[in-house]
Amino acid sequence: MKPRRMYDFGRKPAKRNYTVADLKALKGSGKKLSMSNPANATELRACIDAGIDLLVVWDSQLEECREIAPHHFMGIGSTWSQYGTADEILSHAIKLMGMGGDMYYTLRSYDVMEKLANEGIPVQSHIGLIPTFAHWAGGLRAYGRTADEAMEIYKTLKRMEDVGVFAVEAECIAEEVLEAVNEKTSIVTFSLGSGKAGDAIMSFVADVCGEPSEEAKPPKHAYAFGNLGRLHKQMYEERVAALKMFHDEVRAQNFPYAETNIGMHPNEKEKFLEALDKVS
């Protein structure tokens, strides 16, 4: 999509591939956008070159990410435990939006969401599986597999809509539920493991690229389109082999090799040794 001319929330002239209005207009259009979470500059450039539509980044990344991807819609936010008070969260949101953020993610109370929305901040929250709150759910699991739980998801979504939430990450919700509730809300939905019904489909860079994970078993929705894990393993094995060769050559007194050493200019060694003999 051709970037639109606009001002960002810091009132600096800017361009964006998608605006808040564009994302809200997606609902019912049949168009789906891609969304991912680059963790560093290399991953960010890969997302841009691959044509990923929407990005979410950590607050510490925002300045660098804006330099690399000045025209991409970029969500930022804070973790549940990052700030204690509503005023601290609001200050953080205003600062990051002024630096070029396009929406602000929070897991905090409806009152906090409303406080941010009342200041004109596009607020993103989270429904379904929320890893931070896994204690309440008895661990990591799917949501909306019963009619009662599906209705609770709908009620939560409408409550968020009432306080001005603009978008939600819908994680590990039964596909039929997201499909049904998405038609009954103005909130933009980012589906992560919740089927095709979301207005945008999100997946983590590591999952998409098939990178190693600390989890013994990746979640069902972590579909790998690549196999960077194989390359990571190959790189590790190459690194170990090189280090072992270095170690062995040092122990055998073969390294440093002659071609890697620095030598004196011609005839300078003799002059130096002669001078050294005179002072010893």
What is the per-residue pLDDT across 107-117, written as a single tens digit (0 to 9) for each? 999 999 999 99
pLDDT recorded at residue 214: 65
User: CATH homologous superfamily of domain 4-226?
Assistant: Phosphoenolpyruvate-binding domains (3.20.20.60)
- Mean pLDDT confidence for 77-84: 94
pLDDT-derived band at 215, boundaries 50, 70, 90: low
Q: Compute and round to an integer the Cα radius of gyration of the chain.
A: 27
pLDDT-derived band at 219, boundaries 50, 70, 90: confident
Q: What is the mean pLDDT of the chain?
A: 94
- Six-digit token string for 206: 């590591």
Rounded Cα gap, residues 140 and 129, in angstroms: 7
pLDDT-derived band at 181, boundaries 50, 70, 90: very high
pLDDT recorded at residue 280: 65
273: three-class secondary structure by DSSP: helix
CB 89 within 8 A of CB 113: no
Summarised one tens digit per residue, pLDDT across range 1-39 is: 789 999 999 999 999 999 999 999 998 898 999 999 999
CB 145 within 8 A of CB 194: no
- Confidence (pTM): 0.88
- Checking if the pLDDT of 162 tops 70, the result is yes
> 3: cis peptide before it, omega within 30°?
no
Count the Cβ atoms, other than its own, within 10 Å of residue 190.
Answer: 23
Helix axes 86-98, 110-118, angle to 10 degrees: 40
pLDDT recorded at residue 217: 73
Summarised one tens digit per residue, pLDDT across range 87-106 is: 999 999 999 999 999 999 99
In the chain, where the domains are located: 4-226, 231-279
pLDDT-derived band at 216, boundaries 50, 70, 90: low
Residues in the chain: 280
- Mean pLDDT confidence for 45-66: 96
- Mean pLDDT confidence for 131-142: 92
| Encoded amino acid at 115, one letter | K
- Mean pLDDT confidence for 34-52: 96
How large a percentage of the chain has pLDDT more than 90?
Answer: 92
CA count, 13 A, side-chain hemisphere, 126: 21
